[in-house]
A and B are shown apart, each in its own frame.
Chain A
Amino acid sequence: MTSGNLLAVDNLHTYLGDSHIIQGVSFAVPRGKVVALLGRNGAGKTTTLRSIMRLVPPRSGTITLDGKTTEGLRTYELARRGLAFVQETRAIFPSLSVEENLAIAERKAAAGGGWTLERVFNDFPSLAARRNNGGTQLSGGEQQMLAIARALIANPQMLILDEPSEGLAPLIVRQIADLLNKLKSEGMTMLLVEQNFALATEVADDVVVLGKGRVRWSGTSAQLRAADDIRHTWLGV
């Protein structure tokens, strides 16, 4: 249980309507590691994440979680098996209070993790102060914190984050980076999609670069920082 790949994507093909968005993507997320999925807009990053969560049905290819295929599983079953997805839109429920947003996601996992409502409010004091507020009365940064806290309280095996820094002020982005680094040091496995190159390579062990629906490069964060041609061609940074 301590090594090997927690998540493996093999030769994934996904269509949105008639468009062939994901064209044979393969990569793996080892247990306890952080993998960043980088690429320009339209490279297929979000669609890859949504395929993993089966919010869009993959056309072909296999996705395994903990060595078992996820074929035939529904989204809620994947969540119950330990995948926690923080969407780009944060997707806070406007009709629910901050506390209710957390409470409906709370789950005790066999693997532990120890996240409870008390611990969330202890570690995220800004949420504690607003526990009875409507979910969408929060600022953008607070909504992102709530979205991450709501993922953690399910005590997942793995966090899947879609652009957690998007649209946030630099100070808040720093807080998000610190939080992700802390989770990483506690051994949380993560798959991270991010436009913020500095943040992504700071947090991630490994990077997979996507371009036009295919894997164009993969390696460590340090290797990518040195690979100028790859960055220019596929990331524009």
Chain B
Amino acid sequence: MGFDPQFFAEQLLNSLQFAMLLFLLAIGLSVIFGLMDYLNLAHGTIYMLAAYLAFSLTQLGGSFWVALAFAPLAATAIGMVLYLLLLKRAETETHLVQVLLTVGVIYAGTDILRIIYGDLPKGVNQPELFAAPVNIFGITYPGYRLFIIGLGLVTQIGLYFALERTRLGALVRAGVDDRQTAETLGVNISAVFMLVFAIGTYLAGVAGVVAAPIFGVYPGMDATIIILVLIVVVVGGLGSLKGAILGSLLIGFADTFGKILLPQFAMVMIYLVMAIVLIFRPTGLLPARRFTGAG
């Protein structure tokens, strides 16, 4: 097999598209951890829940866009209730307790959805607006995948401005730096956290809806991706937007090209990237300053 530039370009775009999906999940997990030291693996359950809600909405006759508008919101509402009723109890516990609790939520969520929807994978149709392939860089590429890349980019730019240029963003950064000091200045960090939690959960829901037409909707789809998302956060560094962007790009590319170049060792590629990063940067590539050990 010689070098085929068209094939290569296509895989580059696939990597980018997968990276955007990982990013939508990773940013919430990362900032929720950065702000509250809460390792919330139930983040993946929200992703799966939103995908199933999107499936139901489209079955009821709604378009993909109706699903994208409402499924993440509904999943966020359920996520907030779950947090306030259950997850909040582990706020002051160790990470191990949080992991045990939220892995329990993953198992319970998977089984509940399996009882409701059955074991078989479900499909969500991609929107007609992006159904046609697009000519780009001399190749024809699925328009829907380009839409995901665009959505990811817009989200990243939006989050950058929200974090760097707004008062709320400054409060979030202050909270990640030093939560207690922010409180002594009159900042209600719990309220800031609930807002951040809601935004992160919403983005996980968006990821679930846009992933559904590509990967399908099935029980356990959350566990498959949350492992990659955890690696993204570890590689990128905790609590930072730039870290989540860089980490998702690296893992998106490693996963896509790993599957092509060394199909039997695709997962090995990802762990290799993680191992190399952790050897040279134990706190990840671009963590929030609190996690660098310097600040």
Contact = CB atoms under 8 A, between A and B. Distances in A.
A150 B189 CA distance: 18
B182 A104 contact: yes
Given A93-B178, A94-B177, A105 B185 contact: yes
B295 interface: yes
Interface in A48-68: 53, 55
A80 B191 CA distance: 15
Given A76-B188, A79-B183, 17 more contacts: A53-B184, A55-B180, A74-B188, A75-B180, A75-B183, A76-B189, A79-B184, A79-B186, A85-B184, A93-B178, A93-B182, A95-B289, A96-B170, A96-B173, A100-B173, A103-B170, A154-B186
A30 B182 CA distance: 27
A74 B185 CA distance: 12
Contacts of B180: 55, 75
B185 A104 contact: yes
Interface string B168-207: 0011011011101111111111000000000000000000
B67 to A, nearest CB: 37
A107 B177 contact: no
B290 to A, nearest CB: 8
Interface in A62-100: 74-76, 79-80, 84-85, 87, 91, 93-96, 100
A136 interface: yes
Contact of B167 (A53, A103, A107): A103
Contacts of A96: 170, 173-174, 177
B19 interface: no
A164 to B, nearest CB: 15
Chain A contact residues (Cβ within 8 angstroms of B): what range? 20 to 34
B76 to A, nearest CB: 25
Nearest to B294: A94
Contacts of A53: 184
Interface residues of B, number: 21
B246 interface: no
B181 A93 contact: yes
B139 to A, nearest CB: 41
B184 A107 contact: no
B26 interface: no
A104 B170 contact: yes
B288 interface: yes
A136 B173 CA distance: 14
Interface of A: 53, 55, 74-76, 79-80, 84-85, 87, 91, 93-96, 100, 103-105, 107, 136, 150, 154
Contact of A104 (B171, B288, B289): B171
B183 A104 contact: no
A104 B184 contact: no
Given A94-B295, A95-B288, A76 B186 contact: yes
B185 A95 contact: no
Contact of A107 (B171, B186, B289): B186
Q: Which interface residue of A53, A100, A103 has the most chain B CB atoms within 10 A?
A: A100
24 contacts: A53-B184, A55-B180, A74-B183, A76-B187, A76-B188, A76-B189, A79-B183, A79-B185, A87-B184, A93-B174, A93-B177, A94-B177, A94-B289, A95-B173, A95-B176, A95-B289, A96-B170, A96-B173, A104-B167, A104-B170, A104-B174, A104-B187, A105-B185, A150-B185
A100 B187 CA distance: 13
A103 B170 CA distance: 9
A104 B181 CA distance: 11
Contacts of B173: 93, 95-96, 100
Contacts of A85: 184
A100 B186 contact: no
Interface string B137-179: 0000000000000000000000000000001001101101110
A14 B187 CA distance: 24
Contacts of B183: 55, 74-76, 79
Q: Top 4 closest A-B pairs, CB basis?
A: A79-B186, A75-B183, A91-B181, A95-B173
A154 B170 contact: no
Contacts of A94: 177, 289, 295
A206 B174 CA distance: 35
Q: Which interface residue of B177, B182, B186, B288 has the most chain A CB atoms within 10 A?
A: B186
